Structure 1
């Protein structure tokens, strides 16, 4: 059996079609949230366009897109984190989309040349008030202060969430200062980096460490939880919007772009415009504890409303993505792994 026949059989088995049709859209998604089903269902209901979807890890999807080449059935690639979107763009898989609706609704600093942000999450500081004073943890930079020795917990420094923060700090503070900061973080570890952001929050609540960094939607998820253990953890901690007096709290994104070989380009553009609509934007906030990128959209989420408003960093997301590799080199030299 030839490679072409094998590829056709695989595509057929996955329920995807590479024959262009306005009634279908093929999505490769690295967002793994069950609540996204409503997002896709609403699009089909509004447009009549059927969505075929494959979900997998970013690297697996990007490798598949590269291997499929011009025969790829994929129309849209969706993932989280600017570093991952930037990596996809570097591979040359995206095609630029000209859309007045997207440009009017998504702020310029949350758009790159070939992909767009549709929701944001903030990198907050969570601390235990029995172990750390609030004035000690008002900025990311303070986490490297010697006064916090043995009190800092984070997930791996090689994780995209932390690399994106490092990339932002390079832009704002310079590479030399960022490397000094990363070395200070390592010197302040309460334990070696491990687990995800929820694990960091629980470790702070348990007193295993005094302070940690976590994405806001993990904290909001615990705040909205009805589980007694989650409410107990939330009751033991406090959260800070970092760097409110300087460049603002670092944010990261979920985003998407149309693929270069998309067979259903018209449907792809409609979907990207839909993600910027009021319905979809409200869903990101109310369904998955993220912030909409369209400022006029009302947020009806108890946890996000309780966390309140904050000054967010407005560093262009494309510039952030371009500095990820440098952040990785700096973290490696500092031993932040």
Structure 2
């Protein structure tokens, strides 16, 4: 039996005694942490009167939706990268959404051309570099990471993690499989230790002197700076925004898709449009230290302090289609071995 929804909602007080019941609702399955979603769901309910029910999942979203079939209560799915979004779409569990509001708020590179998924915020896959041991300009491209000068100086999480698979997919897109295989071998030979841990663990390793640079998502810097223990790790590094030699900085997204079975389709569409509005974009970007997507919206001041970059303009669905090829190359070179 599946776990019941965990409900997040705001209801206005009536006469300072009791709130009227909310008849309308929308149901979400989410990979995002509860604390990152709550400010958004609260604001949506306050603006529309639609209650938001959230089931927070650690894994198994595709399997759960497949098991539920047409009986699924889920209207929307929230995921934290293109690989997970594409997996739900490829399993035939979503439906296309047509909306002039969404088209106006979400740039072409950040939504499915067929309307099955829509981006909400972006994050860059960057280099965390030791302030003491890495000079300015020492790394400028992702291709640089295979340079022998980094031998024994790089830390990273597993190569098969979706964040790194997406980066390898982008390398294939820009350079082809043969080049990417050689690049992966070069990066592997430069590792200071076997891939392990999460992105924050790599920054801790830099702070501890185990390596000099690591790969990580931008928002982890904001998260570490809010943590008493991890702030010291964050203070030991700076962010570098590499680019592809023939492109921009690699970005990934948090995104949303409407399920094929959505029982509350009208409310689900209202929420999707709300999430891409300037109001919601500001709330979301501040809560998770990511970059808003909607035109005319700005990142949080802390995020902007890390520096500016030009995002690669490849449509992320094109990268998602290269996931099997990327994973095969990662396993072929035994990157995690």
Tell me how far apart the structure 2 counterparts of residues 111 and 15 of structure 1 sit (CA, whole Å): 28
> C-alpha distance in 2, partners of 1:15/1:205?
38
Aligned to 1:28: 29
Gaps of 5+ in 2: 8-21
Aligned to 1:242: 242
Q: 1:170 aligns with which of 166, 169, 172?
A: 172
How many pairs align? 320
Is residue 75 of structure 2 the alignment partner of residue 57 of structure 1?
no
Counterparts of 1:1-337 in structure 2, within 5 Å, are 14=5, 23-58=24-59, 60-112=60-112, 113=114, 114-223=116-225, 225=226, 227=228, 229-243=229-243, 246-299=246-299, 301-337=300-336
8 Å CA contact retained: 2:28, 2:53: yes
Residue number in structure 1 paired with 2:14: none
Determine if contact 1:144/1:188 at 8 Å carries over to the other structure. Answer: yes
Shift of 1:206: 2.1
Are the aligned partners of 1:131 and 1:207 in contact in 2 as well (CA < 8 Å)?
A: no
Aligned-CA RMSD value: 1.9
Which structure dedicates a bigger proportion of its chain to helix?
1
Q: Residue 324 of structure 2 aligns to a residue in which SS?
A: helix
Contact 1:121 1:216 in 2 (8 A): yes
Deviations 1:164-223 (A, max 9, x none): 000111101111111111111111110001111111112112211011111000012224
Aligned CA distance change for structure 1 residues 166 and 220 (closer, same or farther; 3 Å) = same
CA distance in 2, matches of 1:22, 1:86: 33
1:81 Cα offset (Å): 0.6
- SS of 1:28's equivalent in the other structure is strand
Normalising by structure 2, what TM-score? 0.90
Q: Is the 8 A contact 1:244 1:310 kept in 2?
A: no
What residue ranges of structure 1 are gaps of 5+ in the alignment?
A: 1-6
TM-score, with structure 1 as normaliser: 0.90
Deviations 1:252-297 (A, max 9, x none): 0000111111111101111111110111100121111010011301
Aligned to 2:137, the other structure's residue is in SS state helix
Distance 1:327 1:244, change over 3 A: closer
CA distance in 2, matches of 1:244, 1:296: 26
Mapped to 1, the partners of 2:329 and 2:26 lie a distance apart of 40
2:124 and 2:217 in contact (8 A); partners too:
yes
How big is the shift at 1:22?
7.5
